[in-house]
Amino acid sequence: MASESKRIVALREEIARHDHRYYVLDDPEVPDAEYDRLMRELRELETRHPKLVSADSPTQRVSGVATREFGVVEHRVPMLSLDNAFSDEDIENFDRRVRERLELGEGARLEYNSEPKLDGLAISLTYEDGVFSVGATRGDGLKGEDVTPNLRTLRSVPLKLRGRGHPRLVEVRGEVFMTDAGFEQMNRDALAGGDKVFVNPRNAAAGSLRQLDPAVTAGRPLEIFFYGVGAIEGGTLPPRHSELLSMLREWGLRTCPEIRVTTGVEGLLGYYRDIGARRATLGYQIDGVVYKVDSLVRQRELGFVARAPRWAIAHKFPAEEEMTQVRDIEWQVGRTGALTPVARLEPVFVGGVTVSNATLHNVDELTRKDVRIGDTVIIRRAGDVIPEIVRVIAERRPRGTKVVALPKACPVCGSDVSRIEGEAVARCTGGLVCAAQRKESLKHFASRRAMDVEGLGDKVVEQLVDAQLVESAADLYLLTAAQLSELERMGEKSAAKLVAAIAKSKNTTFARFLFALGIPNVGEATALSLAEHFGELTVLQDASLEQIMAVPDIGPVVAQDIREFFDEPRNKKIVSQFLARGVNWPAPASGRSEHQPLAGKTFVLTGTLPNLGRADAEALIRKAGGKVTSSVTKKTSFVLAGESAGSKLERAQQLNVPIISEEQLRLLVKAFD
């Protein structure tokens, strides 16, 4: 009893410290999964010893406090948090409890409003006679910080509600967040200006909204989705939560487009799995989904416990952040010679998989985060994204650790490592002498989107280089079935099939060939732009820097990389070998542009189209003679916008670039068959 009593006191102190760092300082020390574990342990101990429960325990309140820098707003209706569920069984129990409390039969199936659980900052906005008057953070659930001037800077917050007949007073609740694209761009700008970068979009959104200077908030890419109503005076609410959200949309308040009404446990779990499968493509961070009984009458009947409503629950995804220890730091060499530090980790389960490696990107990132062998670190994995180290927990660093320095010699071939001043990337100077570079170059060349050599996988490539059968990708076209059959696990039939696949790859396109060459900074889109602009290899090889820069979306750095690639004697020799060994593509068609309605037009795509996928839309535009680029400029002809369009749409509006729908695009190309 005494030991558990001490543990309860220690847990309360530790959780209070984490609350302060997370909600007040916007500087969390541990990932959410660790915080949840501490809270669960405290709840379990207090359940066993109810006499030890005190009013100041974190289990008895929502969380957080209002800071003194802002005015204080008292919420008319408390902003409560939600209970969490982590398994299918938890959701089945939640549904059972709701049905039992409502005295519904065993076979009854309730309707729930289901929505993503945004990882942002909860806020309330009060409108009086339809005009925005006060905005506040959640704070401790009873009182929050007055952030009215900052919320007024968000373009997605209407200063006056649309329509007529609004309640005399209505308090709407929502979540301020930052899109992935907005967060990444803000951090890139911060790095370029030598400013502090944020750890994650949630902290960025919270820190941006809680600025004493509203002008700073105005410069941050904040978004908002509204999800409910608190207080209402001089008006009535519709009978269902889903209808309430429709009402908010009619008033001009943004709601999440992923909200659905689902029926029964099967509907809840189906929604959870659907959103989980699409999580990485949503464009913003979520950490689960929220289920709410759709009937507002039944919500009132179910009521609340001390800290949460009985009619709602948050179904959390597996933790995307976890703590683990760094076993070692190694340097990997890529196809361009770039050295990438990789942390070898004590295996840990995060984001639904076991993770044992995490990228550190480059030496600057390694230095900035100061990751050392033996450190305890927080790692993050979202969807299919490569796991990365978020930061080091300095308090747990063992004594005697040393700063990891950039090696002077390549760890694979021993050649000198070079780093141009001002560049983040360090490179091995060994070129094709370096086996690592040769292997990665061959893997890229044979990949599906390059030359698409079926059967030439990573293991075969490694054997070819180790056996010194190829020095460059051009040597692939000299390989015989007899040579390949000598490789491990390569029989005569497999060898013959691979030789046939290599021969088949000779017939390609100019764009694929350029991409396969592995020219620095030339991806698929740039390769396609180069092929469309120059038409022929000899014309591109002889082009000046100025002529290359005339290609849309190609600036001086990329143009210089292209020019240097074709000026290098060894590259010239290899390109000649490709042609001599039969690599070919169709000659550019002459006189096409005059029969193509989109010739000379440049398009940028944003959002989700109703019928066409992005690749299909791009193919349709290019078939009609148009070009597709990634960024909106004054030279952009049209922006093709779909649902959930992002910052590109705003940029188009600022520059007065015409915005068209999928239907309008089809009308533009209708004349082209």
Which residues are designated catalytic? 117
User: With contact defined as beta carbons under 8 Å apart, do 604 and 631 qualify?
Assistant: yes
Burial (CB < 10 A; 0-12, 13-18, 19+), residue 217, is buried
- Which residue type, as a one-letter code, is found at position 207? G
- Give the 3-state DSSP-derived string for 603-651, with helices as H, strands as E and coil as C: EEEECECCCCCHHHHHHHHHHCCCEEECCCCCCCCEEEECECCCHHHHH
What are the residues facing 313 on neighbouring strands?
291
Please choose, from the candidates 431, 459, 467, the residue with its C-alpha nearest in 3D space to the C-alpha of residue 574: 431
DSSP letter for 556, please.
Answer: H
Angle between helices 2-19 and 32-48 (to 10 degrees): 140
User: With contact defined as beta carbons under 8 Å apart, do 325 and 371 qualify?
Assistant: no
Distances in Å between the alpha carbon of 120 and those of 175, 203, 316, 427? 6, 8, 15, 39
What are the residues facing 355 on neighbouring strands?
348
- Which residue type, as a one-letter code, is found at position 113? N
User: With contact defined as beta carbons under 8 Å apart, do 286 and 117 qualify?
Assistant: yes
**How many Cβ atoms sit within 10 Å of the Cβ of residue 342?**
16
Distances in Å between the alpha carbon of 362 and those of 127, 280, 330? 49, 24, 12
SS3 162: coil
> What b/e sequence results for 127-150 when a residue is b if at least 16 CB atoms lie within 10 Å of its CB, and e otherwise?
bbebebebbbbbbbbebbbbbbbb
Report the Cα 581 to chain-centroid distance in Å: 42
Sheet containing strand 602-606, strands side by side: 627-629, 602-606, 638-641, 659-660
Contacts of 574 (CB under 8 A, 6+ apart): 472, 473, 474
Contacts of 200 (CB under 8 A, 6+ apart): 183, 285, 380, 390
Using the structure block, give the residue that is written with the tokens 């200077």.
213
> Using alpha carbons only, what angle is made at residue 518 by residues 548 and 457, rounded to the nearest 5 degrees?
155
Q: What dihedral do alpha carbons 294, 297, 301, 303 form, nearest 10°?
A: 60
